[in-house]
Structure 1
Amino acid sequence: MDFTFDEDQESLRELAREILGGSTEDDRRWRDLARSGLLGITLPEELGGSGGSFVEFCLVVEAVGASGARAPLIDGILLGAAPVAVFGTTEQRSRLIPPICEGTALIPGALDEGRVRVTNDGGWSLTGTRPFVPLADTAERVLVAADDAEGRTGLFLVDPFDDRVELQRQDTFTGRPEFLMRFDSAPVPPEDVLRVPGEGAEVLDWLLPRVTTALCVHQLGCSQAALDLTAAHLRTREQFGRPLGAFQAASQRIADAYIDVEGQRLTAWQAAWRLAEGMDAAEAVAIAAWWACDAGSRVLHSAQHLHGGLSTDLDYPLHRFVLEGKRNELVLGGASAALLELGDILAGSAS
């Protein structure tokens, strides 16, 4: 196991940091990421991508988390475009992937099982609801998981602007809206069927560990940025004629935060590396999720506490990392859920 990045990966990381740090306008950042080829870093070269590995994708995700940018690499590319690139037909790949690489289209995912039913009465159609779908109002397609009457899961690329699809805005604490999608016998033409019922599980088994790991890496970026801001604050902010960092309680708390960030770093990159190498990663992913939820939350709370009233200033960047970190924790399901998952994995391997 070697977590040392090679020269090309280090150059990629620096490029991502340079682009994301060069502007505070999220639209401009997105365009610059597209022009540099970073949006398609893990998508096939013949479709306009760079053909990189999952580790390289995560390097860009980490830079996004550390910058506070609202760049939907996970929600708009990994959740929908990546499975199309790997499992889609030639026609689906050639139609949907190039615009993703160019930064002109997004394919989010709505993958919670059990909420949407699919039927085939001379053609596929979806009925049901799916809450909290990001980017649905701007997506080219939304990748929707739907179950048939026998409980078998299929995956369908749904046009969110179809007359049989209703989008209801749901405001979130991050300031970015998500959407409740209602499907009223929404038709899915044959060319937009990614996997028929009974064949979707293979795709989800490939996709969901990558989504979890990418969220852990994003959480790492948020935590590292919050730690850096807090360390600078403790060095420069004085109280009673001394820097705040000179007080034992403050120095001990930020030392604990440093250890928590390093724990996140080790476990997140272990999971990413194992996935990129095609190794069994279930245990590593669950461990990374626990660290992201438990330690990540602790780091961000410590950063707020040590900043005092400044942490509530919306002109100061800390609030972005705290809000994104809390969203990551909620999407991952929380530390207890990660421990339960890990316990199931360990119990299964023991038996």
Structure 2
Amino acid sequence: MLARPRNWLALVVLTSGCASGGEPEATDSLTSPVFTNPSGDESTTDVDPGATTTTGEPEPTTTATVTSDTDDPATTTSVDPTGPQTTGPDLTTSGTTGEPVDPCPRVLTVVPGDVLNVRPTPSTAMAPVGTLGDGVIVDVLAIVQGELIDGDDTWYQIAGNWPEGYVFGGFVECTQDEPPGDDGFFLPLECGTSTTITQGNNGDFSHMGNSAYAFDFSLAMGTPLVAIADGTVSSLYADVKPGDPCYDGGGQECNPYTNYVTLLHGDGTGSVYAHLSAVQVSLGQVVPRGTVVGLTGSTGWSTGPHAHVARQENCGSGFCQSIPVVFADVPGDGVPDTGEMVTSQNCP
């Protein structure tokens, strides 16, 4: 089902910048199918497009290292209080077998520059349970009747990291395409998490030299960061604690005091996750893709909570030369730019 133009598209809140201090902020209405508050905090403010969060290239002085030989409800109609009313999809038949073929096994989100709310019921009456970015493909569990919006009451129950999740049909279209496979590298965010890149590759503040291919993700304090691919913890630093001088960030003098984790991957490359408020893995631990390695923070040279993540060479220490990475769950060329919103499909 193709998404049709809506005269109420004012419900869509465009996100054009990064919040000060590395935390995404946006306006959002609980009655909108579109949700632009990845942190989940219902109290939001307008985004300040003039503020960005940046990071230096920290070089902690103390590391532990493992080396490797390999490199409004009133508008709701047709909603059954005991549960959504499933409407049978128009099934077609296939060739000579006569077996039914599901015409809508998956949906593709169509919300350029925004994210789409996932609701616990087919209605805007309740707070979102998640979000999906533009161009994300998810499996359809059922097509149901829900809240009537501009003459359309079609909602899709979708698979995901929630007990039940529904999206409004006006911002998705049916597709036979498959989501990204398990191979390659994925965003360092839990499945379904959306946020903005505050500094991409070759950033003019600090992403140059060793950090030329790094990414800064605008994330609230304590957001889980996950492995971008299967790996083994090769080094970490977790000595900076609440109350320490560089725990809440600082200038270049705080460069050596950045909590971080590095992983060594099967292809001989590594990845680094920096400015953590807490490290949640141990040295030598095998970490499957999508596993939490730490929580975001602002330790070290930092102007606010965010995450600094990069794929890098394996040099046997915490911070090595960064190298290009293509994320399987980023549409287009797989390399997000500064200011771009991304949504993780790093779903173990």
Of structures 1 and 2, the one scoring higher in RCO (CA 8 A, sep 6+) is 2
- Which interval holds the TM-score relative to the shorter structure? under 0.3
What's the TM-score once normalised by structure 2's chain length? Answer: 0.23
Q: Which has the higher helix share?
A: 1
What's the TM-score once normalised by structure 1's chain length? Answer: 0.23
